[in-house]
Structure 1
Amino acid sequence: MISTIKGDITGLDFDMIVNAANAHFARGGGVCGAIFAKAGPELDAFCAKLPKGKAGDVRISPAFGLPSKAILHAVGPIYEGTKENAQALAGCYWNCVAMAYQYKREHDLERLSLAFPCISTGIYGYPHEAACDIAVRTIRKIRSAFPDTKSIDIIFVCYEQIDYELYKKALKEL
């Protein structure tokens, strides 16, 4: 299942949620700041020990005070309009699904729910429509290349109405 909802990712009870992280995996603004605030100081302490990343990199942490079981921290690109930006953003989605699949297998889960925010569309400036297109296309490619990933329910959680409308339209066309 691939779907979208409008809401706040921090209050949702999914197996895994994705944080739109910075390269230091530290508390930031937007969805990142909200996740850290609700997860509590344990998340700050855990993430302070993670090695620095680059755009497209993903790290995993416990969810601490959040209702989910784990957080995937995906470093989105700062938008400059380059092909590398698009590849890094696609890498965020690809690497998150790969890590979620590994988690699902390690924990012997039949299904797993994975919630994505709109990575890089906030202060990193990625245009909403282009980011939505990359996200949906990447998930579709993963599902086509690796049919076993269909046991992961993908939910795009949109905080802003503009993103919700874009994802609804893109998913309807699938």
Structure 2
Amino acid sequence: MFRTAIRMAPISASEIPSLNLLYKLDRLDVSRLGPLKGASPAYNDRIGLFRGDITTLSVDAIVNAANTSLLGGGGVDGAIHRAAGPKLLAECRTLGGCPTGASKITDAYKLPCKKVIHTVGPVYDDTHPAVSEAALRDCYRSSLELAVKSGLKTIAFSAISTGVYGYPSLDAAHVACDTVRKYLGTGDGEALDKVIFVTFEEKDVRAYNHLLPRHFPPSTPSTNDHDQLTKEQNAEAEARASQLPNVPSTDPADPEHALKKQKQGDKK
């Protein structure tokens, strides 16, 4: 489970490294496979990557990987409800649930973010992967649309459906990156200042480290200095990165809630 005994200080969107900063600090390896079709570095200052507890982020909205009841569960879902307090559950009870692929928004209560966007990811169907992919794309798209509609500027996504719902992390990361990149290229997407991908488990970390450079490759280095930071900028960037909290040492797993969540998914 996420660490709750000692609450970490809230982390703002500006404190979370952008892809441009991670490239400059050599914290993100460029894929040997090269960029995918449609890949662009144009949004690298507006994409952030953070490994840790999403409930500590002081952003406009965090995205909860919810179930159709919206009444809490295991993993990230349970962690968000525990950190927000009982008023979140009370508000969720008024929403009438949420279908797979859709999103609904609530207040954040005791969380440091302003709002929580709840989206229901698909239970992965390996016999019909295209159906699962379409539903997962809807999760990211509907969350982004809801954020813009609500006047929110910064949004942080948990890794939707990669837990007990069984979506392969690499495939899920591709869908997430591709959907976000395409949305940022629309007129509505221009309203967002920063989209943050939040990872926790090692399998999701590896997936995003592999896929982000393929969707958001680094900018072409300058001919003079290969786009190096000045010594002062480099030191400042290193200091900023070092101030981020250590990665939690335990997985966001709650076996009892996870089993209930799986059973709910089987009924879909």
- Residue matched to 1:97: 144
Query: In the TM superposition, what is the alpha-carbon distance from 1:27 to its structure 2 partner?
Result: 1.0
Distance in structure 2 (CA, Å) of the matches to 1:5 and 1:170: 15
Query: In the TM superposition, what is the alpha-carbon distance from 1:141 to its structure 2 partner?
Result: 1.6
- Residue matched to 1:85: 132
- Residue matched to 1:7: 52
Query: In the TM superposition, what is the alpha-carbon distance from 1:172 to its structure 2 partner?
Result: 1.8
Distance in structure 2 (CA, Å) of the matches to 1:130 and 1:169: 11
Distance in structure 2 (CA, Å) of the matches to 1:43 and 1:148: 28
Q: Where do 1:33-52 residues align within 5 Å?
A: 33-52=78-97
Stretches of structure 2 lacking an aligned partner (at least 5 in a row): 1-45, 217-268
SS in 2 for 1:154: strand
Residue in structure 1 matching 2:112, options 42, 54, 67? 67
Query: In the TM superposition, what is the alpha-carbon distance from 1:166 to its structure 2 partner?
Result: 1.8
Query: In the TM superposition, what is the alpha-carbon distance from 1:162 to its structure 2 partner?
Result: 2.3
| Rg larger for | 2
Instruction: Indicate yes or no: 2:183 matched with 1:149.
Output: no
Count the aligned residue pairs. 167
Query: In the TM superposition, what is the alpha-carbon distance from 1:147 to its structure 2 partner?
Result: 3.6
Higher share in strand: 1
Residue in structure 1 matching 2:205, options 144, 148, 164? 164
TM-score, structure 1 as length reference = 0.91
Q: Work out whether residues 6 and 161 of structure 1, in 8 Å CA contact, stay in contact via their aligned partners in 2.
A: no
For 1:53-78, what per-residue CA distance to the aligned partner results, in whole angstroms no more than 9, with x for missing partners?
A: 22101000000010000000000001
- Residue matched to 2:25: none
Stretch of structure 1 that moved more, 41-50 or 148-157: 148-157
CA RMSD of aligned residues (A): 1.2
- Residue matched to 1:17: 62
TM-score, structure 2 as length reference = 0.60
% identity of equivalent residues: 40
For 1:35-88, what per-residue CA distance to the aligned partner results, in whole angstroms no more than 9, with x for missing partners?
A: 000000001111011122221010000000100000000000011122221111
SS in 1 for 2:58: coil
Stretches of structure 1 lacking an aligned partner (at least 5 in a row): none
Distance in structure 2 (CA, Å) of the matches to 1:143 and 1:43: 29
Distance in structure 1 (CA, Å) of the matches to 2:188 and 2:166: 33
Give the counterpart letter for 2:115 in structure 1: A
Q: Work out whether residues 3 and 171 of structure 1, in 8 Å CA contact, stay in contact via their aligned partners in 2.
A: no
Query: In the TM superposition, what is the alpha-carbon distance from 1:167 to its structure 2 partner?
Result: 1.3
Distance in structure 1 (CA, Å) of the matches to 2:120 and 2:164: 13
Distance in structure 1 (CA, Å) of the matches to 2:187 and 2:48: 17
Give the counterpart letter for 1:64 in structure 2: Y
- Residue matched to 2:232: none
Give the counterpart letter for 1:11 in structure 2: T
Following TM superposition, the consecutive aligned residue runs of length 4 or more in structure 1 with deviations greater than 3 angstroms are none
Query: In the TM superposition, what is the alpha-carbon distance from 1:165 to its structure 2 partner?
Result: 2.6
- Residue matched to 1:134: 175
